[in-house]
A and B are shown apart, each in its own frame.
Chain A
Amino acid sequence: MNRLARYLFFGFAAVVLQTMLVPEIALWGQVPDLIVIFAVVVGAFEGSSAGCGAGFLAGLAVDLYHPPTFGAGVMAATVAGYLGGKAQILLDLDHAVNQMVALAATRVVHDLVYALVGTVQGSVEPLSFLVPGTIGGAIYTALIGAAVLALAGLVRGGKHVIDRR
């Protein structure tokens, strides 16, 4: 229960920061995606199912804030949570480099899903969405996410950031 409350709190914080703070910390037009980070962290710590659920809820919250792409963020973040869980199994996420690779790749897939759904919806122009922001945003997300994962590992108090299953 405590853990659920903790994730709810961090999910809420991620949504609030994503909608309010992230536009303020853009570097050369590139922004990190805290929802991706949150979903990946939950997926890495709790497994793909939990990551999917976390991504779904966080994506839904952000989509509610931004109705034109309603649903696209939900699906993209759900996939991100799933990939977070898979990355925890496939990669050694104890290492920061692996964490960043996983986060960057997840961000790219997230953006692809988002662009695909948004294009079907008619709310996203895929090239103008993907070309300027995906690679830079992936790098930015990886850097922020690695810091978050390191912090999460410290909070958990273990030597290993991710519990291997």
Chain B
Amino acid sequence: MPRFPSISRSRREVLVLVLLLLLGALLAAVPRPAVSSVLHDLFAGGNELLLDSFGWAFDLGADARENAELHRELAELRLALSDLEQTRLQNSRLRELLEFTAVRRPEILTGAEVIGRGDGRQAFAVTVSAGTADSVAYNQPVVTADGLVGRIDRAPGRHTAIVSLLNDPSNAVAAVIERSRVQGVFQFVGGQGRLLHVLQAADVQPGDRVKSSGLGGIYPEGLMIGSVVSVADDPDGVTQRIVVAPAAALDRLEEVFILRLGGAR
């Protein structure tokens, strides 16, 4: 029996390392052998088998990540939805304002705050914070975003003016039914807004919107006056008794716009 010389542990380890490195170098040097491809396929097949068997464990992690991602997306979408809703509301308000300014922008003289009630006629007039310094003058129409409020009765100060409201029986507005273009005169009679001088044959229905016709010379065309509340034949047998609710809240005015006189389209 031949006896191999004993070598130290350290040398043996180095020898093993060198041998294995040489083997590795041979593997690295050999062109991609067909057997490696087969082994690779087998290995990949084994991996697939493993995945099929235990894939659920990995799927759980993937599901958790997907779940978290979906939650995040949901939160983002909710935020976006909230933004969209805000934008929609803002758009609606801006559209309303744009419509208002598109129709009447050339006519707006100034805005003013309501600073007092009446000049002794109680509910029929208010005092506003604009006057001669703002070129406010007699008979200029006064509106809110909701509709017509009245007209300037007088401007006694540089920063004050008296607005005669629509419910003052002395005010009358040339008006038209928006839907049927039936014309009449809006005026307060007996504490009620009425559309006067409309023949019984005219097409007027409750809910119809009443606007200024611009024919009176004071108020420009298209200002919202109010809506028809009720329609009935007048006892005179000729005209209708049409009750109109003003669009502007005349008893709760806070801010108004004064329009330039003669600015009718």
Contacts and interface: CB of A to CB of B under 8 A. Distances in A.
Interface of A: 16, 19-21, 24, 47-49, 52-53, 55-56, 59-61, 63-65, 67, 70-72, 74-75, 78-79, 82, 85, 117, 120-121
A49 B16 contact: yes
24 contacts: A20-B47, A20-B51, A20-B58, A24-B61, A52-B16, A53-B16, A56-B23, A59-B24, A60-B27, A63-B27, A64-B40, A65-B40, A65-B43, A65-B47, A67-B40, A72-B28, A74-B20, A74-B23, A74-B28, A78-B21, A78-B24, A79-B17, A117-B24, A117-B25
B51 A121 contact: no
Contact of B13 (A20, A79, A85): A85
Contact of A47 (B13, B28, B32): B13
Contacts of B13: 47-49, 52, 82, 85
A34 to B, nearest CB: 15
Contacts of A120: 28
Interface in B1-59: 9, 12-13, 16-17, 20-21, 23-30, 32, 36-37, 39-40, 43-44, 47, 50-51, 58
A68 to B, nearest CB: 8
Interface residues of B, number: 27
Contacts of A82: 13, 17
Residue of B25, B28, B36, B47 with most chain A CB atoms under a 10 A cut-off: B28
Interface in B195-216: none
Contacts of A85: 13
Interface in B66-95: none
Nearest to A78: B20
Nearest to A121: B28
A61 B32 CA distance: 15
A55 B16 CA distance: 12
Contacts of B16: 48-49, 52-53
Interface of B: 9, 12-13, 16-17, 20-21, 23-30, 32, 36-37, 39-40, 43-44, 47, 50-51, 58, 61
A52 B40 contact: no
A61 B42 CA distance: 11
Nearest to B31: A70
Given A24-B58, A78-B24, 16 more contacts: A20-B58, A48-B17, A49-B13, A49-B16, A52-B13, A59-B24, A64-B36, A64-B40, A65-B43, A67-B36, A70-B28, A71-B26, A71-B29, A75-B21, A75-B24, A121-B28
Given A48-B13, A64-B36, A71 B43 contact: no
A90 to B, nearest CB: 12
Contacts of A20: 47, 50-51, 58
Contacts of A16: 47, 50
Contact of A67 (B29, B37, B51): B37
Contacts of B51: 20
A79 B13 CA distance: 11
Contacts of A21: 58
Contacts of B30: 71
A85 B51 CA distance: 33
A112 to B, nearest CB: 14
Contacts of B26: 71
Contacts of B44: 65
Nearest 3 CB-CB pairings of A with B:
A71-B28, A75-B24, A74-B24
A97 to B, nearest CB: 25
A47 B17 CA distance: 12
Contacts of B28: 70-72, 74-75, 117, 120-121
